[in-house]
A and B are shown apart, each in its own frame.
Chain A
Amino acid sequence: MSLKTTMHDLKMKYKGKKMAPAINAFHTFLFTPDETTHSGSHVRGADDLKRTMNTVIMALVPVLLFSVFNAGYQHFSAINGFPENFSLMEHFLTWDNAWIGIIKILPLLAVSYGVGLIVEFIFAVIKGHEVEEGYLVTGILVPLIVPIDTPLWMLAVAVVFGVVIGKEVFGGTGMNILNPALTIRAFLFFAYPTWMSGDKVWVHEARERSEAILAGATNVDAISGETILGYLAQNNEAAMAAKYSLSDMFFGFIPGSVGETPTFLILLGGLFLIFSKIASWRIMLSAVLGSLVMGLMFNQVVEMGWVTETSKFYGLMNFDFWKHLIVGGLAFGIVYMATDPVTGAQTNRGKWFYGFFIGFLSVMIRVFNPAYPEGVFLAILLMNVFAPTIDHYVVRGNVNKRLKRLKNAVVIPKDSDSAAKELKAETV
Chain B
Amino acid sequence: MTGIATNDVPARRRLPLLQEAGSALAIAVIGAIGYYLFPDDLAFLTRLIGISFLVLSLDLVTGYCGIATLGHAAQFGVAAYAAGIACVRGVTDPLALLAIGIFAGTLMGLISGALIARFRGLPQLVLSIAVGQLVAALANKLQWLTGGSDGLSGITPGKVFGIYNFDMYSRTAYLFSLAILIIVFVALTRFVRSPFGLMCRAIKDDDLRAKMIGVAVYPRLVLMYGVSGAVAGVGGALTAMSTGVVGLDGVAFERSAEVLVMLVLGGAGHLWGALAGTIIFMIFEHIVAAANPFHWMTLVGLLLILIVVFAPKGLIEPALSLARRLTKGRAS
Q: Do A and B bind each other?
A: no
Q: Name A residues whose Cβ lies closer than 8 Å to a Cβ of B.
A: none
Q: Name B residues whose Cβ lies closer than 8 Å to a Cβ of A.
A: none
